[in-house]
Structure 1
Amino acid sequence: MALDTKRWCTRGCCRDFLRVNLLVILTVVGVIVGFIVGFGIRTLQPSQDAVIWIGLPGEVYMRMLKMMILPLIICSVITGTASLDPKCNGKVSAVALTYLMATNCISCVVAIAMAFAIKPGLGVEQTEVSEKVSGQVMETSDIFVDLIRNLFPDNVVSACFEKALTKYSQVESHTVTNVSGQLVNQTVITKVKGVGTAPATNVLGLVLCCMVFGMATTAVGPAGRPFFAFFNSANEVIMRILRWFVWTTPVGVASLIAVALLGTGDLGKAVRSLGMFAVTVTSSLAAYQFLVVPLYFFALTRQNPFTLLLTLGRPWMVSFAAASSAIAIPETLHSLEHVNHVDRRITRFVVPFAASINRDGSSIFIAVSCIFIAQLSGMDLNAAKIVLLWVLTTVISVAIPSVPSAGVVSVLINLTALNIPADSIGLLFAMEWILDRLRSASNMLSHAYCAVTTYVLCKGSLPPLDIDGAAIGEDIAAFEINVPPPAADKTSNSIDVTDRLLKDSIV
């Protein structure tokens, strides 16, 4: 009998393990299938139509997730901010912002140290046929200006699909001068800057607008309850839809990775010319995420960082597959709230906020790339240029311009500011398909660590929450704790009736 009990207990444990980790297991299988299909079909030299059909499941997967990410960010930030009192809002925002900016700086230091230790650009033969970065190179000052502009969008609707970006144009002026008694027509070309737009979501501006809406919802008291209830309900509906979509991740992963391999040029030449560069970036990401981050996470929270790391397998795989940490926001929220029991009032604000400005992985890639190109060109970087590289990378990683291959374009901006020849920058495209995924996954881990750190440091300031209520009821209760009592006036009876109807509808 004891043997049978042990056997059934083992079966039950295996069944529970499979039920909890089924999506992770299937996603890993999807990654393996994607690599097998990609490497296998490359030898057959498929047509362009065949590549399109192979990549169609991944494209549909990305479209489904992108369709819901923006509404999720808007609803999450509004409800998360409205659930906190103004004093707590300020503390949470300050802690999260300080943490994110500090980690961007630290990751850049790690990247610079690893690049000088490994020296990936020494002894490299440039045999890879590289792509070219086209278009006007942005000036460093314009990066700062665009960051401030995007913090304060002039149109909330247009911010959903475009963001401000400095545009350059050339104006010709003709003058007639008298040279030695002859009239000479001279043409002068002047570069003119203007405010334009780029087709990309202004996430940072939307987060700031939603924070204002959330704080105003709390400030108006009972009149804001219907507004809060709508966005809270929409948030739960969107999360449920995304939980349905996420089960298509294994198929989407296999398709995306296969197409990435099929779209890459000569992999052998890329590995020979950029092998040490890829090793440097990967080593920097590993050292930062598995050594540096756990150290300061433990110092701030006194918690085991690797316990949290083991619960982030699902969002990590989604970030790796989609090459975007924003796509993994639903899975990140689920892991933090349901597995690690982090207060949803913190996660619903901090995770979207971190996704808009945190670029640990991008900072590492940009810094290593700049040093790699400098070493290829035989340029010596003195202490002043290293400090300038550190500052520029930290800022540009927050305000990466919304253009294709933004990471590579950011490297070009840094090289221009440092007076380093950028002739070899096209080499970076050869390994972009894999390094982009690795740094996106690294960014996702930083978002999760930021949320947990902010929760630990700010949970003493959070108002009490009824943990026995339903999800929407919890947030309504938290909202009612934070709003001021209504003034005694002639409309008090109508307000009480509205409140009762709203609560009845929620129940």
Structure 2
Amino acid sequence: MKKKLPLHTQIILGLVLGLVWGLVSAWLGWSPKITTDYIKPFGTIFVNLLKMIAVPLVLASLIVGVSSLSDISKLSRIGGKTIGIYLCTTVVAVTVGLLAVNLIRPGTKLPTETRENLIQVYSSDAESKAASAEQLQQQSPLQPLVDMVPENLFASAASNGSMLQVVFFAILAGIALIQLPEAKKEPVVRFFDGINDMIIRIVEFIMLIAPYGVFALIASLIVEVAGDQPEKALQLLLGLGWYSATVVIGLFFMMLAVYPAIFKLLTNIRYRVFFKAIRPVQLLAFSTSSSSATLPLTMETIEKKIGVSEEVSSFVLPLGATINMDGTSLYQAVAAVFIAQALNLDLTLADQLMIVLTATLASVGSAGVPGAGMVMLVIVLESIGVPTAGIALIVAVDRILDMLRTAVNVTGDTVVTMVIAASEGEIELTEYRAKERSRIGATVDPSKPA
């Protein structure tokens, strides 16, 4: 009997084949409409399927998770630790980005001609992002608190962009259930628990087509970036190589240095074991550029493959998908300083501290959907007096970098979930514990540090 390829291997194959298709299509001069009309729709369907179940999953899992805590004090303890660690990792991410961009100074390496070309080509995109950000800036500083409370739950549930409102209602409902008599509480919890199990099964169905969806998404992305002038697109991308490299270095530093350090300090679990378990999640986040769309698979992986309890994962992960954006915050720090360097603007220490503050706050209000980070970047630029039109310099490579930073966003969510679970004694390395024991002998416990 043939052994089935693991999901992450299938997704990698879909990603590579999509990349090959896009490049071949561009260089051979095939009409982009072949890809955009007949291949891209399958990628769109795949992402829509994931988004379709994101809101009901968050609603059901959070209600079940919060109500299962059975104690308001436990909820406040876990909630306080979760938000505190999320804010700390975000500040670290912004600081890493600032250090990288100040050491490498990519803005000074951008040729004048390339800079002018980029501003000319992408000026309309920059204006639309600036207009969106201007609407946000005209609001009250306390508007995020207002936006957190839904005036109509059903309207909020109809939009993935209103996920924080769904989270608010679910936590409130869970707290209310804790205070109800057991006889009245049990049927409600069982109903939402059944909904949660049903959605997890739907996730398994959707993941059967994940490799094909990833192929379609990557193929259409390459074709749209290259268009009918692949040489010109390549020149623009090469001109932004130093900027892209700076963002990538920062993101990989978070993934391979900061997160392992957090594991070493705050858990007794091997990062290698954890990292291996979440590979499908990272690949899906990379392909969809959406923390919200990846959330169903993230929850299933953390619970079933690693063994984090449902009461922790169902609270920490949905919250992370809405307020924790380590990769996006790091990118905003690098992008803001890069644009200032490219425009020959000097930033003071106070300006860079302002970037730390605004990028951290912006990550809380940033939706977990593709492109949201760039809108929030405009607010960061405004806070330090850098012309918002400067985002035209980075639009060309933003879609690709968005994929990478989403993978880091999701990894950050899972890392914090592991830390909270370890601190609460709510973790059991199920599948990977068994595999590790069979590989190195039953006497060795993989949860112990190397």
User: Structure 1 length normalisation: TM-score?
Assistant: 0.77
Mapped to 1, the partners of 2:140 and 2:218 lie a distance apart of 32
Contact 1:78/1:213 (8 A) holds in 2:
yes
CA offsets, 1:329-349, max 9 Å, x none? 222222222221111111111
Pick from 5, 9, 12 the counterpart of residue 28 of structure 1.
12
SS at 2:388 equivalent: coil
Question: Are residues 252 and 351 of structure 1, via their aligned partners in 2, closer, same or farther at CA, if it must alter by over 3 Å?
Answer: same
Whether the 8 Å CA contact 2:292–2:368 is kept in 1: the answer is no
* RMSD over aligned Cα atoms: 2.0
Q: Is 2:248 the counterpart of 1:248? A: no
Q: 1:141 to 1:310 in 2, by over 3 A?
A: farther
Give the equivalent residue in structure 1 for 2:126.
Answer: 132
Q: Is residue 2:51 matched to residue 1:60?
A: no
Please name the residue that 2:186 is paired with. 225
Q: CA deviation at 1:83?
A: 0.7
2: CA distance, partners of 1:353 / 1:331: 15
Q: Which residue of 1 aligns with 2:405?
A: 439
Distance in structure 2 (CA, Å) of the matches to 1:23 and 1:425? 36
- Cα distance per residue 1:121-166 (max 9 Å; x no partner): 003121332243322524657374331112212221111235xxxx
Match among 33, 36, 44 for residue 48 of structure 1: 33
Question: Partner of 1:84: helix, strand, or coil?
Answer: coil
Equivalent in the alignment of 2:144: 147
Name which of 153, 156, 159 aligns with 1:159.
156
Q: Is the contact between residue 138 and residue 413 of structure 1 (CA under 8 Å) also seen in structure 2?
A: no
Paired residues of 2:32 and 2:224 also in contact (CA < 8 A):
no
2:338 to 354, 368, 372: 372
Question: Would you say 1:313 and 2:294 are equivalent positions?
Answer: no
Structure 2 counterpart of 1:62, one-letter code: V
Matched, 1:96 2:82: yes
2:389 aligns to what SS in structure 1?
A: coil
Does the 8 Å CA contact 1:118/1:280 hold for their aligned counterparts?
yes
Runs (4+) of structure 1 moved beyond 6 Å? Answer: 401-404
SS in 1 for 2:65: helix
Native 8 Å contact 1:95 1:454 kept in 2: yes
CA deviations on 1:303-339 (whole Å, 9 max, x unpaired) are 2222211111111111111111222222222222222
Q: TM-score, normalised by structure 2?
A: 0.86
Match 2:22 to one of 28, 32, 38? 38
Tell which deviates more after alignment, 432-441 or 321-330.
Answer: 321-330
Instruction: Classify 1:139/1:418 alpha carbon distance in 2 versus 1 (closer, same or farther; 3 Å).
Output: farther
* Contact preservation (8 Å) 2:95, 2:356: yes
Structure 1 residues without counterparts, runs of 5 or longer: 1-10, 163-199, 463-507
CA distance in 2, matches of 1:235, 1:405: 29
Q: Once the two structures are superposed, what CA deviation does each residue of 1:147-205 show, in whole Å capped at 9, x if it has no partner?
A: 1112212221111235xxxxxxxxxxxxxxxxxxxxxxxxxxxxxxxxxxxxx531112
* Greater share of residues in helix: 2
- Partner of residue 261 from structure 1, selected from 222, 227, 236: 222
What letter corresponds to residue 423 of structure 1 in structure 2?
A
Distance 2:207 2:369 in 1: 27
| Identity %, equivalent residues | 24
Note if 1:275 corresponds to 2:245: no
Please name the residue that 1:387 is paired with. 353
1:110 aligns with 2:107: no
Alpha-carbon distance, 1:80 to partner: 0.6
Distance in 1 of aligned mates of 2:40 and 2:77: 45
Question: What's the counterpart of residue 202 of structure 1?
Answer: 162
Deviation at 1:104, TM superposition (A): 0.8
Q: Which of the pair has more CA radius of gyration?
A: 1
Aligned partner of 2:59 in structure 1 is 74
What is aligned with 1:185?
A: none
Number of residue pairs the alignment of both structures matches: 408
Structure 1 residue 401: Cα displacement: 6.6
> 2:139 and 2:344 mapped to 1: Cα distance?
29
1:3-29 CA deviation, whole Å, 9 max, x = no partner? xxxxxxxx9xxx7xx54x521111111
- Is 1:236 equivalent to 2:202 in the alignment? no
